[in-house]
Amino acid sequence: MHTSEDRPEERPETEVPPLSDTASKAAAAARIENQTKWVDLQVQQSIQRGEFDDLPGAGKPIKNLDRDHDPDWWVKQLIEREQIVVLPRSVQLRKDDAELDDLLDTQTTEDGARRIIEEFNERVIAARYGAPEGPPLITMPRDVDATLDAWRDRRAARVAAAKEVRSRQQRRKRRWWRRG
């Protein structure tokens, strides 16, 4: 048979008198005390089940425990763990300038290539007018038209090379069919 616990709609309605300020504070303190007991009980049961056995780092000293408090500790650990390289803006722009032609060669449209060059130039100009940081900035903005002309030439050479490869493959296929 079902009890009123199973069906809340069958529970008799009882009015709960409002608690005084001191009584509500005492009730809150009791809830907190019971909550800490409940958490401790859960931890003890997990230990007995062996859920904390063989955790990574078990038996090893905690890293950097002897250092003073550093508010940016988590950023430094993220950089170390993910092997993130953070370069000064001038060095990053030099690196980007060296890789720009390869990046442009991945573009199939002139608009995409133009957008990449203009974005690069904007970053160079912003670095030139910003406060200097790190090594001196020697990277210059690129001439958009000259860079696009070089991109067109490289693209035409790639297209011609691809056509040559296709024609060789077609000739090879024709020869195979003619053998017989």
143-160 residue pLDDT tens: 999 999 999 999 999 999
Kindly report the pTM of this predicted structure: 0.49
- State pLDDT tens for residues 50-86: 988 888 888 888 777 777 788 888 888 888 888 888 8
Q: Is 80 exceeded by the pLDDT of residue 178?
A: no
Instruction: Give the tokens for residue 153.
Output: 């030439």
Domain boundaries, the chain: 103-163
- Structure tokens belonging to residue 149: 């002309």
How much of the chain, in percent, has pLDDT values that exceed 90?
36
